[in-house]
Amino acid sequence: MGAAILGNMRFTVGWLYPDLMNIYGDRGNILTLLKRAEWHGLEPNLVELGRGPAPSEMDDVDIFFFGGGQDREQALIYDDLREFKHEPLRRVVEQNGAQVLAVCGGYQLLGHYYQTADGQKFDGIGMIDVTTQAGKKRFIGDVVVRTEIDGLSPTSLVGFENHSGRTFLGPQAKPLGKVMVGHGNNGSDGTEGLVQGNITGTYLHGSLLPKNPHLADYLIGRALTRRGGGALSHLDDSAELAAHGWILQRAQRR
Ligand code: GLN
- pLDDT score recorded for residue 6: 60
Question: Cβ(111) to ligand 1 under 6 A?
Answer: no
Chain centre distance of CA 14: 12
- pLDDT score recorded for residue 253: 85
Measuring CA to CA, which residue among 12, 16, 207 is closest to residue 98? 12
Tens of pLDDT, residues 98-132: 999 999 999 999 999 999 999 999 999 999 999 99
Q: Is residue 3 part of a domain?
A: no
Q: Is residue 39 part of a domain?
A: yes
Number of domains in the chain: 1
What is the 67 CA–ligand 1 centroid distance (Å)? 10
Using most ligand atoms within 8 A of CB, pick from 110, 163, 183, 192 the residue to mutate for ligand 1. 163
Q: Is residue 5 part of a domain?
A: no
Whole-number mean pLDDT of the chain? 94
Tens of pLDDT, residues 40-98: 999 999 999 999 999 999 999 999 999 999 999 999 999 999 999 999 999 999 999 99
Q: What is the CATH number of the domain that holds 154?
A: 3.40.50.880
Question: Cβ(133) to ligand 1 under 6 A?
Answer: no
Q: Is residue 204 part of a domain?
A: yes
Q: What is the DSSP letter of 84?
A: I
Query: Could you list the residue range(s) of the whole structural domain that residue 153 is in?
Result: 10-253
Using most ligand atoms within 8 A of CB, pick from 162, 183, 202, 203 the residue to mutate for ligand 1. 162
- pLDDT score recorded for residue 7: 63
Q: Is residue 2 part of a domain?
A: no
Q: Is residue 1 part of a domain?
A: no
Measured CA angle at 104 (ends 91, 21), to 5 deg: 75
- pLDDT score recorded for residue 86: 98
